[in-house]
Amino acid sequence: MATAEARGARLGRLERSALTGVLVREAVNYSSYWKSSTFSSTVEPTIYLLAFGFGFGSLVSTIGGYDYVDFVGTGTVATAVLFSSAFPAMFGTFVKYQFQRTYDAILAAPVDTEELVTAEALWIATRAGVYGCVPMLVAMVFGLDPSWGMLAVPFIGWVAGFGWACFGISIAGYAKSFENFNYVVSAVLTPLFLLAGSFFPLDNFPQWAQVLANLNPLHHCVVLVRHAVFGSDGWKDLARLGALAVFGLLVWRIAIHAMTRKLID
């Protein structure tokens, strides 16, 4: 009855060609907006670095055994990762499904929601890994000594960026309007950003706050970057990397669930 010819091989999940298709779309689009994206993702953390570094730096010369500019220079890597992953993921995803209907077009091709979300997160994570290095490079101009461990920073930024990208996609998937993002930015991202240990150490916080900080993925990113630059803490750092990976895997599945609900009736 129905045509059976040219059935071809059964297509599986998370296929490379589907991921590549979505990534190519992002890369081609990026060529049309890379200047503004690069500007917003790098200038803001750099301003934080300069303001805190020279503002507090004039009052506090060293902190936790580090020169303050070095401390903030490595800490704001996580800020740059957050700004270049969670925010574009939230706003970009919402615009693409709500206004541009881009995802309707992509899902009419042989691409599943799981592949779409994964490819989008991979793309944002890659950008976050690169943009995350900018504050560190600026800090080097102001005296941060280069080290071999710095080569691991893009990877740390990539792992953290993947998680935050999935977090942003999840929020966009559950949001009903742009205004919903205000709650997330004010109640979730800002506290996590300020209590990550980027600008001041968390050692003087109450014990319970220090325990809670371990639930903040951004804090692990800050510590991992510092240890990559100044010296590793061995197994503890591996555990922190594992925590970032678990965070990434968890929010990846949540993002797929959220977007499937949003895109498939």
Partner 1 sequence: MADLAICLRGVVKRYGAITAVDGLDLDVPEGTCVGLLGPNGAGKSTTMRLLTAQAIADEGELEVLGFRLPEESKQARAQCGVVPQLDNLDTTLTVEQNLLVFAHLYRIERSKRREAIERALKMSKLVDRRGSRVDKLSGGMRRRLLIARALVHRPRLALLDEPTVGLDPQVRQELWALIDALRTEGTTILMSTHYIEEAQRLADTVLIMSHGSAVAAGPPSELVLEHAGHEVLEVYGPPARLAEVEAEAGAAGMRTRRTGTSISILGVDGTNGFTIDGERRPANLEDVFVLLTGEEIA
Which residues in this chain contact partner 1 in the complex, by CB under 8 A? 1-8, 10-11, 17-18, 20-22, 24-25, 28-29, 32-33, 100-102, 104-112, 263-265
The C-alpha angle 144, 196, 46, rounded to 5 degrees, equals: 45
Question: CA dist 20 to 17, 222, 237, 238, Å?
Answer: 5, 31, 32, 30
The nearer residue to partner 1, 38 or 210, going by C-beta atoms, is 38
Supply the minimum distance, in Å, between the C-beta of residue 177 and partner 1: 19
| Residues found in the chain | 265
> Residue 67 carries which DSSP code?
E
Supply the minimum distance, in Å, between the C-beta of residue 90 and partner 1: 20
Rounded-to-integer distance, Cα 70 and Cα 80, Å: 16
The nearer residue to partner 1, 4 or 141, going by C-beta atoms, is 4
The nearer residue to partner 1, 6 or 59, going by C-beta atoms, is 6
Supply the minimum distance, in Å, between the C-beta of residue 36 and partner 1: 11
Residue 116: closest CA among 241, 22, 231? 22
The nearer residue to partner 1, 29 or 210, going by C-beta atoms, is 29
Cβ-based neighbours of 174, under 8 Å, separated by 6 or more: 180, 258
Supply the minimum distance, in Å, between the C-beta of residue 17 and partner 1: 5
